[in-house]
Amino acid sequence: MADRIPILKMGQYLMLTIQVDMHDQLALDLQEDLTNQIVKHKAKGVLIDISSLEIVDSFIGRMLSHIANVSRILDAKVIVVGMQPAVAITLVELGLSLEGIATALNVEKGMRWLERTVDQDLSLEHERGEDTDLSAEAGD
């Protein structure tokens, strides 16, 4: 059986912890699993915990960036938490800025950021009269 990274549902958010060395197939599986879970649960946010990663390479950086971009397209905010100082230094040295990806020191701060950001977005949509759940109009 192939390795999989578990994705936990916490209310309207998804959380995953990367605790193993990533390889190409695992990254592709994670991306597919995560996008399926975002759609299935109509998740508004994704928290990616990388506190167990002691080293990263350009592949991991690109993979995180790609997963974050796909999640945003599916209307889910993304935050990466628990980055070790050595990992941050390595990403900078590799020229990978993780542009557009929010970061936080730990899971607690990351969840607070997600809650605050999603609440702000929902408030703005409500003020504009936008309905984010179109399934009600479709008769679901």
Higher pLDDT: 100 or 65? It is 65
Q: Tell me, what's the pLDDT at 122?
A: 73
Q: Does residue 134 fall inside a structural domain?
A: no
Stated pTM of the model = 0.83
Q: Does residue 139 fall inside a structural domain?
A: no
Q: State the pLDDT confidence band at 140, using cuts at 50, 70 and 90.
A: very low
Q: Does residue 138 fall inside a structural domain?
A: no
Q: Does residue 2 fall inside a structural domain?
A: no
CATH of residue 68's domain is 3.30.750.24
How far the first Cα of the chain sits from its last, in Å, is 36
Q: Is 82 exposed, middle or buried (0-12, 13-18, 19+ CB in 10 A)?
A: buried
- Count: domains in the chain: 1
The domain of 86 spans: 7-128
Q: Does residue 110 fall inside a structural domain?
A: yes
* pLDDT tens readout for residues 20-52: 888 888 888 999 999 999 999 999 999 999 999
